[in-house]
Each structure stands twice: as structure tokens, then as C-alpha cells.
Amino acid sequence: MELRADQSLWRRPSTLQSTGSCLCSSPKKKDLPVCGRPVYLSLVVGGQDAVAGHWPWQVSLHLGQTHVCGGSLISERWILTAAHCIQSTWIPWQYTVWLRSIKIGNSNKGVKHHVSKIVIHPKFQNITADIALLKLVSRVTFTSSILPICLPSITKQLTVPGSCWMTGWGKVKESEDTDYHSTLQEAEIPIIDHQACEQLYNPISISLPEVEPVIKEDMICAGDTHKMKDSCQGDFGGPLSCQIDGVWIQIGLVSWGIGCGKSLPGVYTNVIYYQKRINTTISRAEILDTNNLDLSDFLFPIVLLSLTLLGPSCASGPNILSGE
């Protein structure tokens, strides 16, 4: 079955090129950058533990008390993640995001924020349009260890480098019995040419070009199968970050793959493809906030109290807002 993104709503730049932009207001402290410029710049060899402060936009998405996916902080109140990370039978307030801590479950160093609204691409299905925005109940306070990553701009151009960085708490082995890694992992991985990736996943496309492509135009491939650097379960939704002209820009988010670090690279949702819609969604939400029309912020304390008194059994039925 053919699945394509709605081009009338989700305009794609002609090439995988763009400059970084920030969806943030002015920083509260003069010595803190707006986005994409962590205070700690040194990097560890890919595939090893990350150092605190190196990836200040990385978040851990929790459902209840359980880590389910990664994500990225893109502004004071918005998180970018994968749509397939969200279970439609749970209301938004059951989700929380943790910032600052590089270790899962370290409540002493982590900063917890509740989710008030979930916006999923309306054409999301399986691996298509695998992108979602999470609005936080309260604004994030930027610090040296909590900063947003820049997003691509749709008005200017830049060249995406040959390799970028993937971060997450995903499994180090594909086995279902393997636990998620307790410490945030980082790995530098090469960006794979779109056509070359399609031939890896769909070898018959070389002789039968009319066959439906596996790697759609809203996807990016990245990974080093020779050195077994790849994303895996638990990394989903996390950012693919590229350092360009001294600024970190998110060009993708972990979406899917076959195996972990084996013969095929990982597949990422192309953030550049969806950048216009991301901007529009957040801009509309900010207008609602300005006019005090966003009822989700007012309903949160009431719903949270109800969940505390009644327990999880009251949270049933779809409560997720689809993108417009």
C-alpha cells in the first residue's frame, strides 16, 4: 500500500539543505546560548557513555515510571519525538519527559516535566510520517545542562556533513531480553545516500524502478554497519544531531530499522521535510497561549488530581490530538 506525506501541508525543501533556527524566546541568562551551542564541547569516541552536558537537548520520554523513547528539546515548551512512541490509549498527562540527567531513573539530577498536549502527524501509519510534538505543561528553565537544539530553517541553505551524532539509552543488543542502557550513549555515524540506502533495503529497485520505494522521501538513513554503530530499541524518537558551523542542528529523529548495527543502516524521520509544519504547529499554539485559549494548561491540575485519586484505570480511550 502506498503511503505518502500530504504535500499540501508538509512542504519539503528541494534538497537536504538548510540552516539552523531556534523556536525559543530570548535566553534568560546572557551567558547562555539560545540553541545548539552546548557549554561542554568535547566529545567522546562514538559508541561510549556520553558525558553530562554534552547533549543538553536530549530527553527521556517516560510513560508512567518507564522509559519508552528518546526525544529532543526544541524550545521552552516543546519536545520532538517519534509518533510511534505514543500509545493512543493513554492521555497526555501520563507522559513525562526528563531532562539534564544522562542516567535513566536518576531523579536526583534529572528535571521532570509533564506533557499537556500531543500533536501527531495526521498521516502517521507504521513507518510513514513518524513524527510527533509534545507540549509541556510548564516552561523549561535553560541552564548549562538544559538547552534546546536548533532546527533546520526552510529559508536558507547549508550542506549536511558526511557524519552526525546519534544519542540515546537504547539497547546495546537486539535481544528482547536486553535492558535499555542506563547511561546515555553517543555515536558518530555516517549519513547514507538516499538512493544507496534504498538499494540496501530494496535490492530489486535497481532492476524494477517502478516498485514502491521502501525509503520514502521523508526519511534519512545513517549508521556504520562495519563498526556496528546504529540505533536500537529505546533510542526511538531521539535526535540525529549535526554540528554545522559551530551550531548543533537536528536533521533527523530515530524511527526504525531492521536489526541493530548489522547489515542495514538505521532509518530516521527527516526533520527538514517536516520543518514548515513544526513551525506552524508551534506558532499556532503560542497564539492560543497568548489569548489564554489553550485549555489543556488549565485542565492539567484537575486531571492529575483525578488520576491520583482514581488510579490508572480512569485513563482510557484516545485522547491524543492529531495534527491539522
**CATH code, domain with 267:** 2.40.10.120
Give the mean pLDDT of 261-287. 88
CA distance 138 to 29: 18
Q: Residue 115 has what pLDDT?
A: 95
Is residue 174 in a domain? yes
Bridge-partner residues for 220, per DSSP? 268
Is residue 110 in a domain? yes
Task: Work out how many domains the chain is built from and give that number.
Answer: 1
Give the mean pLDDT of 161-175. 79
Compute CA distances 5 → 2, 134, 285, 303, whole Å: 10, 20, 22, 34
Residue 315, C-alpha cell as written in the block: 485513563
CA distance 72 to 148: 7
Residue 219 has pLDDT above 90, yes or no: yes
Residue 286, C-alpha cell as written in the block: 503560542
Predicted TM-score (pTM) of the model is 0.79
Cβ atoms < 10 Å from Cβ of 252:
27
pLDDT tens track for 26-75: 444 455 557 988 876 544 434 567 777 889 999 999 998 889 999 999 99
Domain boundaries, position 168: 48-279
Is residue 37 in a domain? no
Bridge-partner residues for 62, per DSSP? 67, 96
Residue whose C-alpha is closest to residue 71's, from 83, 60, 85, 55: 60
Is residue 166 in a domain? yes
Alpha helices in 98-213 (DSSP H): 194-201
